[in-house]
Structures are given as C-alpha cells and as structure tokens.
Amino acid sequence: MSEIHHGKRLISSKDISRQEWVKWRRKGIGSSDAPGILGISPWSSPLSIYADKIGLAEDTEDTEAQEWGRIMEAPISEKYQKKTSRKAIEEPYILQHPELAWMLCNLDRIIIDPDQGPGILEIKNYNPFDQDNEAKIDIQVQLQHQLAVTGLKWGSIAGLVFGRQLVWEDYDRNDSFIKGMIQEELIFWERVQKKIPPDP
C-alpha cells in the first residue's frame, strides 16, 4: 500500500501485456469509463462501455494518438515539474478503491507538493481546456474519479498544446459531485453484473 494515497494496488501496469490490462479493466470501472457512463464523453457512451465490459466489443489496437499520448507522458511531466517546481512521480499500478472493489483507476503521475500535499497529475497530449480556459468536463470527471479512488484532495490537469505550449490548472476534490458520480457508476456496474444493457 502506498503511503500517499489509500487506493489498493492490484497489479503493476508495467508488468502485464495489453491483453491482460484489458482483462483487468473489465473487472471494474476506470476513470476513462466515467465520462461515458455519465453521458458526457465525446468518445464513448454507456452502451459502448457496457459492451466492452461484458466482452461484446471487439478489442481494438491503440490509435496512433493514444500511442503518442503515452510516449509524451514523460516529457510533459518533466516540463510540468520544471514549470511548477513540484515533484511528479510514477504510480504504475491499477488502483482499486478500498471499499468499492469495482472502482478502479490508473494514474499518470502523483504530485508531491510541499504546501498542498500529494495530488494527481492528469496528462493530455493536446489542449485539455475549452475557450474559457476551463478543463473540459469529461477530463474533470476523470480526475474526480481518480480522487475518489485514491482519497486525495486535489489534482492538476496538464496538456501540451500543438506540441509547443504547456498549460495546466489545479482542481480540488468535489465530494458532492463524487457522491452522485459513484451512485451512477454503481447503477451501471449492477447492470453489467446482471447483463442488463443501458438504453442506446
């Protein structure tokens, strides 16, 4: 168990194949699933996530954008550390909520900040902010899911804009939102367990 969060380490994400990682993802709801379950993801829907969880969806290879996202995680993290004077460390594990076994997440980095304490760094290889300089809602939901699993109180969303400008913003844990999110995720997970598909 890590000393800086209460999420349970299930397995190292560096020691398993992509196929094994997909199998672990299907054991619960991850942070990338949360926006789709809530109906606010541009990439997925409750029905598409349901199909994936019960093994109906075809297992596709990562897109080139996803591959570049992983490649760029380290340099974006390094630049973030230089810009903020914060330390960011890897947490290469699939993490599980200590009480809700179906609630999982993978973290890009954990931030060590002497003033705010440990937080989460969510990294994007694109501009994660809208025209009002507010993080896009699906990304904020991902962060809140991660904060729920780990018990941490804050996180930072950082992105590399057009490969030449780093932008970031800090966000606090929102317990009232997390409570509602967990209720919706639990309803969804019970559907998965009972094989009752959500409405299209």
Q: What is the pLDDT of residues 132-160, one digit of tens each?
A: 999 999 999 999 999 999 999 999 999 99
| Tokens read off for 142 | 């991902």
Report the predicted TM-score, pTM, of the whole model to 2 decimal places: 0.94
Tokens of 144: 């809140």
Token pair in block for residue 165:
């400008």
**Euclidean distance between CA atoms 8 and 128, whole angstroms:** 28
Query: Does 165 have pLDDT greater than 90?
Result: yes
pLDDT given at position 88: 98
pLDDT of residue 3: 65
Taking the C-alpha atoms of residue 102 and residue 26, their distance in angstroms, rounded to an integer, is: 9
Do residues 133 and 51 make contact, with C-beta atoms less than 8 angstroms apart? no
Which pLDDT belongs to residue 1?
40
